[in-house]
Amino acid sequence: MKTDINSRRNRKISRVRAKINGTAARPRLAVFKSNRAISVQLIDDAKATTLGMSTSATIKDKIKPIEKAQKVGEMIAEVAAAKKITEAVFDRRDKKYHGQVKAIACGARAKGLKI
C-alpha cells in the first residue's frame, strides 16, 4: 500500500513532538524550513502562544544558506535573551539534525541559548 508524502511527514512530526513539550521557562524552539526561507519560533505549549520568532527572509545579505541559518539561530537567541529565556527544547520537526537545522542550533548556542 502506497502512502503519500504528507502522511509520512505528519507521522515523523508526531513522533518528534510526542517526546518534547515547551513551557514558559523552557519553550520549544520550532524550526520550519521551506525552499525559500527558514524560520524558527519560541513556543509556549502550555499557553499555546508564540514568545518570539525569527526568519531568514529578513536577511538581505548574499550569503550561503547555512550561514543564513546560523544568523537566524543567533537572532532567535537574542530574542530569547530579551525575554529572559536561557533554555529551550529543540524541535526539528521532520528534518534531520544536519545542515541548516544544525546551523540554527549552533548559532543559538553561540549566543548563549541552552538547547
The C-alpha atoms of residue 64 and residue 26 are separated, in whole angstroms, by 30
Q: What is the pLDDT of residue 111?
A: 94
Nearest C-alpha neighbor of 58 from the set 74, 79, 76, 37? 37
Confidence tier at 29 by pLDDT (50, 70, 90): very high
| Domain residue ranges of the chain, discontinuous segments joined by + | 5-110
Question: What local confidence, expressed as pLDDT, does residue 67 receive?
Answer: 95
pLDDT at 47 over 70: yes
Question: Which pLDDT score is estimated for 37?
Answer: 93
pLDDT digits (tens, 9 = 90+) for 51-108: 999 999 998 888 999 999 999 999 999 999 999 999 999 998 889 999 999 999 999 9
**Interior CA angle at 110 toward 97 and 86, to 5°?**
90
The 10 Å CB-count burial string (b at 16+, else e) for 42-52 is bbbbeeeeebb
The answer to whether the CB of 28 falls within 8 A of the CB of 89 is yes
Flag whether pLDDT at 1 surpasses 60. Answer: no
Mean pLDDT of 28-50: 93
Write the DSSP assignment of 17-65 as a string of letters. Answer: HTT----SSS-EEEEEE-SS-EEEEEEETTTTEEEEEEEGGG--S---H
Considering only residues 103 and 17, tell me which one the structure prediction assigns the higher pLDDT. Answer: 103
Would you call 55 exposed, middle or buried from its count of C-beta atoms within 10 A (0-12, 13-18, 19+)?
A: middle
Find out if CATH 3.30.420.100 is the number for domain 5-110: yes
